[in-house]
Amino acid sequence: MAAFLFSLADVRKLTISKAMVPALIAAALFDTVAITNKFVYTKIDFINAYLYFSIGMFIAGLILLFVSMKKQSTKQNLWDIVQKRSPALILLLMLVEALALLAELARNKALSLGDVSLVAGLQNLQPFYVLIISLIFFPFYPKVFRSAQSVNLLPKLLLALAMCFGVFVAVK
């Protein structure tokens, strides 16, 4: 509940976002994947299982890339960016993908070593990290980091503490 309230910029203007349904579906799928991965990691060596998982994600990524190249959109797709040779954006994409790969590797390693509930509990601290990153980059990109737009940060900090307490209780 603290993580949900944390994401609200203004409670008085509470509306259900278009992102709510896909986010709930994603959360259910991530939890299902985490439980399934834990089962696989108890039966197979971590590196072998993670390798197969990564190969599957790579193939799915290639398919999505080719589908997106065919689909016309008002925004640029990756092929347009590559053709224009926008080095800064391509570098940013590579950095983000490298960070995502490291995060996924660390998450899967944690799943192989510990309880699924512990890993999921620690992932609930992500909004706190998002707030910190948003506060750092908000002056440069205010449209991107709307999480830091709240005038009063005290409620968000209190909610972050509530999330930390929730994770502590879940771990114990």
pLDDT tens by residue, 119-145: 777 776 776 677 677 777 777 776 666
Phi-psi map region of 36: left, alpha, beta (phi>0 left; psi -120 to 50 alpha): alpha
Tens digit of each residue's pLDDT (9 = 90 or more) over 22-60: 878 888 888 888 888 889 999 989 999 988 888 988 899
> pLDDT tens across 60-92, in order?
988 887 777 766 655 666 666 666 767 777 788
- Cα angle 93, 94, 95 (rounded to 5 degrees) comes to 90
| Per-residue model confidence (pLDDT) at position 164 | 73
Whether the pTM exceeds 0.85: the reply is: no
Q: Where are the domains of the chain?
A: 2-171
